[in-house]
Amino acid sequence: MAKKSNLQAKTKIIGPIINFLFPQSCFVCREPGKPICSECIKSFAPAKLRCLKCGRANPFGLYCKSCHSKSKANLVLAGFDYKNPITSLIHQFKYEDVTSLSDPFCDCLAALLSKIPDNLEYKICYIPLTLKKLKLRGYNQSKLLAEGIGQCLNVTVTGLLTRVEARESQVIAQSRKLRKTNIKGAFSIKSGAEIPQKVILLDDVITTGATVEEAVKVLKAAGVKEVIVLALALD
Ligand SMILES: [Zn+2]
Ligand SMILES: [Zn+2]
């Protein structure tokens, strides 16, 4: 026991010294400098954009004509294909407190958005976490991304959506079908929130698309005219 606490004490002292000597290095190749170096970022596979309803490939981030409806997003953009090393980086960003990854992720997503000509007319909002998850993690990774992109592009961030509590966690629900059912009614508009005409909705990873589809439905029902869904990765 004494040995263990001795080791912990040593780690506490050595940790900051290591950080001082090797301040920051790429999480993928360990090259000193940024949390993800430019060479590694270039090597990540870009997202294969698809219609979120039927799954058919759509490189423009649109729903198929037959799948689109007024309650759906106008555009779905994503940075990366959800494959390693992106999967592992997002896991660290989301669950292991590695919030320094927010900067390189935001740069990539801001670059995607800068191609949208009227991007300054949008407000950015994000998928809210349940209170339980927020307490457990201490931060909402999608909110961090929204704030970082807001700063990059000088676009306002708004906490437009809230989570309706007492729902079974998506992580617990294993099957895709069950997930879709569980997410129904999971979001509402924050009381007293001003409804923008155009919204960019941030999510970290899109898997089935059920979460963002539900959130977009709520935004559109509240009077938002245009919604661009922006995700870090598409599974
Ligand atoms: Zn690297
Ligand atoms: Zn479709």
Residue 26's alpha-carbon distances to 31, 63, 97, 127, in angstroms, are 5, 36, 16, 28
pLDDT of residue 18: 56
Using DSSP, state whether 84 is helix, strand or coil.
coil
pLDDT of residue 22: 61
pLDDT of residue 2: 43
For the entire predicted model, the pTM comes to 0.85
CA distance 80 to 108: 9
CA distance 138 to 125: 19
CA distance 155 to 163: 23
CA of 52 to the centre of ligand 2 (A): 7
pLDDT of residue 1: 41
Q: Give the closest ligand to the alpha carbon of residue 65.
A: 2
CA of 62 to the centre of ligand 2 (A): 9
CA of 77 to the centre of ligand 2 (A): 15
- Pairing mode, if any, of strands 187-189 and 198-206? unpaired
What is the residue-level pLDDT of the chain in tens, covering all 235 positions?
444 445 445 545 665 565 566 678 999 999 998 999 999 999 999 999 999 999 999 999 999 999 999 999 999 999 999 999 999 999 999 998 899 999 999 999 999 999 999 999 999 999 999 999 999 999 999 999 999 999 999 999 999 999 987 645 445 555 555 555 678 899 999 999 999 999 999 999 999 999 999 999 999 999 999 999 999 999 9
CA of 11 to the centre of ligand 1 (A): 26
Phi, psi of 124 (to 5 degrees): -100, 130
CA of 65 to the centre of ligand 2 (A): 7
pLDDT of residue 3: 47
CA of 30 to the centre of ligand 1 (A): 6
CA distance 92 to 12: 21
